[in-house]
Amino acid sequence: MRSAQTQTATQEKVKPQVKVSPHGTQSKALEKASKDYEAVIGIETHVQLNTLTKAFCSCPYNYGSPPNTSVCPICMGLPGALPVLNLKVIESAVKVGLALNCKLSLNSKFDRKQYFYPDLPKGYQISQFDVPIATSGYIDLDLPLEFGGGHGSLALQGFTWRGCWEAASFRRWKLLQESTFLFVLTINIVLLLISYKRVNYILVDLNRAGVPLLEIVSEPDMRNGIEAAEYAAELQRLVRYLGVSNGNMQEGSLRCDVNVSVRPIGQLQFGTKVEIKNLNSFSSVSRAIDYEISRQVLLHSEGQDKEIVQETRLWEEGAQKTVTMRKKEGLADYRYFPEPDLPGVFLTTDYVDGIRNSLPELPETKRRRYEKMGLSMQDVLFLANDMNVAEFFDTTITKGADVKLATNWIMGDIAAYMKNEKLTINEIKLTPQELAELIASIKDGTISGKIGKEILFELLAKGGSVKGLIEAKDLVQIVDPVEIEKWVEKVLSENPKQLEQYRGGKTKLQGYFAGQVMKLSKGKANPGLLNKILLEKLNAKS
């Protein structure tokens, strides 16, 4: 659990958001009752590893592959087919364990967890039970400024790995529905019962059977949807920085199952836990939690807390509410026992230290480094959110660019261009070297900021070099005071009415005159020198 000091600070800054909207007196009752209860939230996050092959066989897995094109007797659970552990899974698990500040188990083992899903042909998962690979970790995160900001630390029970895919709900099973002769598939797709009656039937896609997952389990350490969503987002950043998973929620590479309970403030005992599945975005995580908190608080306030039962509920995005899926299984239902077909996993300290020394700079460390560079929290959160953006920024700085100017360009015009063109920073034509060169050219007065923007968009779309574009288009900034003075005098002589108005007190017209001079110079007049000469002429006694 977090320290009381950290927990209190977070609660003061971030108030739980009640999303449910009962009408009339019920809404007022809920608002009043919510002040008397607190939520207890824990998250099970399933991270699919991006290994070349599955956990226990040599089958590859590629998202979107045609059904049942990446299967073998081991995936299909055929009799006599024995699993062989993928060593890359161990390496990835150790990386994540170290990055999450966990205590690693040098000796761990696998267990069988009995489970039924249509795409789990063996009827059990190969998982870990009483001796997981890692325990007792924590993760540091920063809440966004719009939700109060500030640093926080959330504790982890630890995590295990699995060589299976656990469906989140019926909607996410890879099932293919057809209408033709009935084929009923049972006993691991061995027995085919054929009926000549034309009815619907279902085929099962086993491509994901055996795909390696890490199940990361938090302590019940969160108190509202915002904290939970930020925790999940930080895990996504972490696995992407480590390179162990793409973390794409839409592909099922990262899934969050949320456990929510409510209790009166001051009570130490937890309330009845409800699990929520079918959460396919971080905003869904936040909204589903806040709805479920409201639902449970309302039942408590109406004396119907017995209606809160341990169950699995689904989040319905369209209706913006949770609905019952099934009653939750208990520990006894899983019937854990040691996996007889796999040996234990034994790690050496040299192996662990080798992986520790290979870890990249992680999001939390990067954010603190950016803060020390003098960047605001808004800048820090933006730059460190995407490791490719952070790498682009870091490389630009190493090429000599000013830190704040580089930040402004990346967060401003470059980010807007990527959004409009639906591109990632790795897909734009601009390089960090050229961005640094562009910033330097503006800073030393070679070109103006306006011309710099024109060059920037050409570099983003077509590439090239800053020096090459400046020379080819004759864009070098003019700093000759005599030439600029001629342009100023020409503009003033052509606009006597505006000049009279300026000298009569409408000083905002200075911008108008400056714009006319810049237009006359085709944007090449040095802005600082231009404004100095312009003010002298405007304020001169006629």
pLDDT in tens, 62-103: 888 999 999 999 988 899 999 999 999 999 999 999 999 999
Question: Which pair of tokens denotes residue 206?
Answer: 């086993």
Counting every residue written for the chain, the total comes to: 542
pLDDT at position 328 is 64
Is there a contact between 469 and 458 (Cβ–Cβ < 8 Å)?
A: yes
Cα 21 from Cα 23, distance rounded (Å):
6
Closest among 213, 113, 215, 117 to 164, alpha carbons compared:
213
pLDDT at position 155 is 57
Is there a contact between 227 and 140 (Cβ–Cβ < 8 Å)?
A: no
Phi and psi at residue 282, in whole multiples of 5°? -70, -35
Query: What is the DSSP pairing of strand 311-316 with strand 274-277?
Result: parallel
Closest among 358, 354, 435 to 389, alpha carbons compared:
435
pLDDT at position 292 is 94
Phi and psi at residue 186, in whole multiples of 5°? -135, 175
CA angle in degrees (0–180, nearest 5) for 183-199-193: 20
Cα Rg of the chain (Å, integer): 31
Cα 394 from Cα 432, distance rounded (Å):
9
pLDDT at position 152 is 58
pLDDT at position 188 is 38
| b/e map 455-471, b = 16+ CB within 10 Å | bbebbbeeebbbeebbe
Question: Which pair of tokens denotes residue 38?
Answer: 């607190």
Closest among 298, 295, 297, 275 to 285, alpha carbons compared:
275
Phi and psi at residue 138, in whole multiples of 5°? -155, 160
Q: Output the tens digit of pLDDT for each of the chain's 542 residues.
A: 233 333 333 333 333 343 444 444 456 656 666 788 999 999 999 999 999 999 999 999 888 899 999 999 998 889 999 999 999 999 999 999 999 999 999 999 999 998 777 778 888 889 888 888 998 888 888 876 555 555 655 555 544 444 433 322 222 233 343 332 233 333 333 334 444 445 566 788 889 888 999 999 988 888 888 889 999 999 999 999 999 999 999 888 999 999 999 999 988 899 999 999 878 899 999 999 999 999 999 999 888 988 999 999 999 998 999 999 887 666 667 889 999 999 999 999 999 999 999 999 999 999 999 999 999 999 999 999 999 999 999 999 999 999 999 999 999 999 999 999 999 999 999 999 999 999 999 988 888 888 899 899 999 999 999 999 988 877 777 777 888 899 999 999 999 898 888 888 888 888 899 889 888 888 778 888 888 898 988 888 65
Is there a contact between 393 and 410 (Cβ–Cβ < 8 Å)?
A: yes
pTM: predicted TM-score of the whole model, two decimal places: 0.78
Could you state, in order of their start, the residue ranges of all structural domains in the chain? 40-158+177-268+333-351, 361-473, 481-539
CATH 3.40.50.300 fits 481-539, yes or no: no
At 270, is the secondary structure helix, strand, or coil? coil
Going 444 to 445 to 450 to 455, the CA torsion angle's sign is negative
